[in-house]
Amino acid sequence: MTVIAWDGRTLAADKRSDYGGCIQVVTKIHRAGGCLVGGSGELSFVLGMVEWVRNGRDPSQFPASQRDKDDWQPTLVIEPSGRALMYERTPHPIRWEREFGAIGSGKQYALAAMRCGKTAAEAVAIASEFCPGCGNGIDALALSE
């Protein structure tokens, strides 16, 4: 129930959260430890990952909630160099080699939009038009700020 998009310069996300069938408006992307961080899924798990990044990404301190084989949340970390890293169930990330990427339930729409030249924020807006789990506004963080 999210779309987070990275276009090589900006990380953007929708603001919709479903809490027990009620729509809430939340922030899904953050600055932490010199990085941009965004996650899809249970927000409390994602915020644990934000704190882990803020505290230096020590592998021995990787959040226990992320290690659950059935209940982890994908977390995207954009380093100051622009390198995009996807954390799943371990402190060992997957490096994205493309110049853009997306996660969440609206990722296919966002990926297609960015492939057609749209920015991350524009891609989130397009995904929010088509994916019922996305919407309620857009947050965007530029890497260079």
**96 inside domain:** yes
Please tell me the total count of domains within the chain.
1
**127 inside domain:** yes
Question: Quick one: pLDDT band at residue 145, thresholds 50, 70, 90?
Answer: low
Range of the domain at 63: 4-137
pLDDT tens by residue, 33-70: 999 999 999 899 999 999 999 999 999 999 998 988 88
CATH number for 83:
3.60.20.10
Distance CA 34, CA 15 (A): 22
**144 inside domain:** no
Distances (CA, A) of 13 to 64, 65, 70, 118: 25, 23, 24, 14
pLDDT for 70 equals 82
Determine how many CB atoms are found less than 10 A away from the CB of residue 91. Answer: 15
**79 inside domain:** yes
pLDDT tens by residue, 113-140: 999 999 999 999 999 999 999 999 999 9
Secondary-structure percent of the chain, ordered helix, strand, coil, rounded to 5: 25, 30, 45
**Mean pLDDT within 11-40:** 95
